[in-house]
Structure 1
Amino acid sequence: MKPSLKVVIVAFVAALASPFTFAATPESSATAFPQHAAASPLLGSWSLDTSRMRMPPEQRPKSVIFTFGHASDTKWTTRVDIVYAPGNEVHSSGTAALDGTPSAVKNSPEADTGAVKLPAPGVLVMALLKKGVLVSTRIYAVLPGDQSMVETAVYPGKEGVPVMKTNYFTRVR
């Protein structure tokens, strides 16, 4: 028997949360959060390795650059610059509090609202919505050495079955 979508999503969220529960201490309160964010190895620009994408080479984007920037003690900017296979470009951006508060996403074909949390210095969890509907959840994790980043993207698939994709990035700066 197939598990229901609700069971799958609850199990997924529990699996994501469990590695971070042990890290919750009195020092990880909101007052310590800005130092945590300022020290993140995620800050900077990252280039997608399009050769590892699971799609025909002629359909892959020519380039994708993610830039995570420090907007204030409690907010980050995210900029995504994409050059698609035919040559058209999209430049999306947003500034969000790192506490999961929804914020506007500008110029994105995928989302108009986002929310982000930083559960550990090298891990960012992002939820993207379009017209009030969750379209994807993404987890960005910097690998040891701080020069590579992995994105795990979860989308709703056919018949309510979640689809997970992994993308690989290299630090540009």
Structure 2
Amino acid sequence: MRIPLVCTLVFCIATIGQSQSLTSSPLLGKWVADIGRLPIPVEARPKSVTITFSEDDDGRLETSVEVVDASGSRMHAEGVTALDGTPAIATGNLEANASATTMPAENVLVMQLARDGVPASTRVYVVSDDEKSMVETSAYVGEDGQPVLRTNYFRRAD
């Protein structure tokens, strides 16, 4: 019983801080949310949500999010992060003004968001094996103080 636990801990410690190269990641590209599957009331749903992941000249992850709300107003948020968990500035986002990212696998991105030093949410993005769809799991604390998990579905747009 102890040997598997020790092996698991050693593996986790050994891989902390490792990041994958973005160049071959299926995460790169433009992703459009399946609005019909958003777990919020129909009247509160945005008209569209688009996330674009790209690589900058220094190998960092560029994230751009475009939301068109139900009234047609646009919100644009963006950030550039190293994949080593180093915090970086996020702009245009009501939820966060800082983010940190890591890629434990080529098709998995973990993103931590914070606002003014307070955790906002953790996002885990997983690209499907066929690279045509992506699932975002958002973990945060609800207004009632209880943990909340929300799943959003995206399809590749490019």
Stretches of 4+ aligned residues off by more than 2 angstroms: none
Mark the runs of 5 or more structure 1 residues left unpaired by the alignment: 1-17
Counterpart for residue 47 of structure 1: 32
Counterpart for residue 72 of structure 2: 87
Deviation sequence 1:9-40 (CA, Å, 0-9, x none): xxxxxxxxx7xx47x67xx986xx56x32110
Deviation sequence 1:134-170 (CA, Å, 0-9, x none): 0100000001100000000001124432100000000
SS in 1 for 2:139: strand
Counterpart for residue 125 of structure 1: 110
Query: What is the CA–CA distance in structure 1 between the aligned matches of 2:35 and 2:17, rounded to whole Å?
Result: 38
Counterpart for residue 50 of structure 2: 65
Q: CA deviation at 1:73?
A: 4.6
TM (normalized to structure 1)? 0.79
Structure having the higher strand fraction is 2
* Aligned alpha-carbon RMSD (Å): 2.0
> Do the aligned partners of residues 159 and 111 (structure 1) sit closer, same or farther apart at CA in structure 2, a change above 3 Å counting?
same
Mark the runs of 5 or more structure 2 residues left unpaired by the alignment: 1-7
* More relative contact order, 1 or 2 (CA 8 Å, 6+ apart): 2
TM (normalized to structure 2)? 0.86
